[in-house]
């Protein structure tokens, strides 16, 4: 890759590097780094190269059919150790914080926070091509034994039916502010929200394709069924039930989850989620951008289709452009509040490695009901 354009020196993000002099000059990062035309052309060339050999259709079908098993295996191996709690959420998405202010719903565009979790250790989080924002958690979630939970969507549907028949409502029906996180994993977004936002009217739903991931959330010591409801859900299945009715949610969170879905199914997924929002409700997204480090590191034979790849562990990932995401959300009837790309430079001086990350952050709002 060509040498990067010279960028002004900026404060390294991550407080631990400011307070640990032994590492201050080992790991640095700069956000909003501009790419030269030569650098972008080099990235484009690498993608063309690693996309030149597509997997056979029968192999691609196998990854689609067994997607749940691959994600279950992922969480069985990593449990909650692969991801770090996303405390940057409240800087980037103030809608999730206490004392929410409707004027904060995105008329201004925020820069990506310098507190964003990053792969400052170089390759530590890039195993099997995941290259996520997160490093291993400094404080592991405290798991405890508990009674058996809902494990399948069929059992979940029965549970929702029982709840509706028993009290005429649904989980969180009495809440005044409802949040759903899709693709909750081990709870690294849900638990910071519950720990930080003590609004008595708050109720948080969280779901995942992986039964193992939902078990990790439900078995966590911080899980409080009076404020949170975790359930197994297949976003791509139109018949898969949600525990809440349409137009009942204030916020839907999508963090590195839409990219794991078959591209042909993304529009249907966004449409379904849009129907859950109240008028004025928001979808908040953060995901992989085109030419991210993770995309450039894929080898020939791992590409499924344009910008869609399979990792070594069988999980899949897509790399977006801003226009693609805008098309998905506006087609679902949502209004753009924010759609920005952040190109971040990470330098591991100890290993003499330069790494470029590309992420996209979006906020889209459901139009308010017309005044009669």
**What's the pLDDT tens digit per position in 9-52?**
333 333 333 333 333 334 465 666 777 788 889 889 999 999 99
Q: Is residue 330 scored above 80 in pLDDT? A: yes
Strand order, beta sheet including 228-232: 27-30, 335-348, 353-365, 277-288, 249-255, 177-182, 202-208, 228-232
Q: Is residue 168 scored above 60 in pLDDT? A: no
* Domain spans, the chain: 24-95+153-160+171-366
Q: Is residue 72 scored above 70 in pLDDT? A: yes
> Beta partners for 283?
252, 364
pLDDT tens-digit series, residues 307-327: 999 988 888 999 999 999 999
Let me know: does 114 contact 31? Beta carbons within 8 Å: yes
> What is the CATH code of the structural domain delimited by 24-95+153-160+171-366?
3.40.50.150
Q: Is residue 145 scored above 50 in pLDDT? A: no
The packing angle between helices 322-331 and 266-276, to 10°, is 50
| Weakest-pLDDT range from 47-51, 71-75, 148-152 | 148-152
pLDDT tens-digit series, residues 339-358: 999 888 877 766 666 778 89
């Amino acid at each position: 890759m060509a040498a990067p354009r010279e960028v002004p020196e900026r404060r390294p993000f991550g407080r631990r590097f400011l307070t640990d002099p032994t590492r201050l000059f080992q790991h640095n990062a700069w956000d909003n780094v501009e790419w030269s035309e030569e650098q972008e052309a080099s990235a484009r060339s690498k993608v063309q190269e690693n996309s030149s050999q597509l997997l056979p259709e029968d192999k691609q079908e196998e990854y689609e059919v067994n997607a749940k098993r691959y994600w279950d295996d992922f969480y069985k191996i990593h449990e909650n150790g692969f991801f770090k709690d996303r405390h940057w959420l409240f800087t980037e998405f103030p809608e999730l914080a206490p004392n929410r202010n409707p004027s904060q719903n995105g008329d201004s565009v925020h820069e990506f926070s310098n507190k964003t979790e990053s792969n400052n250790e170089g390759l530590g989080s890039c195993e099997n091509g995941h290259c996520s924002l997160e490093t291993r958690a400094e404080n592991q979630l405290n798991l405890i034994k508990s009674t058996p939970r809902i494990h399948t969507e069929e059992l979940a549907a029965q549970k929702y039916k029982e709840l509706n028949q028993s009290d005429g409502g649904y989980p969180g029906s009495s809440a005044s502010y409802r949040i759903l996180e899709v693709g909750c994993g081990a709870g690294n977004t849900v638990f910071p929200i519950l720990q930080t936002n003590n609004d008595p009217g708050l109720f948080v739903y969280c779901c995942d394709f992986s039964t193992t991931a939902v078990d990790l959330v439900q078995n966590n010591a911080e899980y409080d069924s009076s404020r949170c409801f975790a359930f197994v859900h297949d976003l791509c299945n139109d018949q898969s039930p949600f525990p809440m009715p349409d137009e009942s949610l204030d916020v839907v969170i999508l963090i590195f989850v839409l990219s794991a879905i078959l591209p042909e199914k993304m529009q249907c997924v966004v449409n379904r989620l849009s129907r859950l929002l109240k008028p004025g409700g928001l979808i908040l997204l953060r995901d992989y951008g085109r030419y991210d480090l993770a995309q450039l590191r894929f080898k020939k034979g791992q590409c499924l289709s344009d910008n869609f790849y399979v990792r070594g562990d069988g999980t899949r990932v897509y790399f977006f452009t801003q226009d693609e995401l805008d098309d998905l959300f506006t087609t679902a009837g949502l209004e753009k509040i924010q759609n920005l790309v952040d190109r971040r430079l990470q330098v591991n001086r100890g290993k003499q490695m330069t790494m470029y990350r590309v992420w996209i952050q979006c906020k889209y709002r459901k139009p308010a009901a017309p005044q009669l």
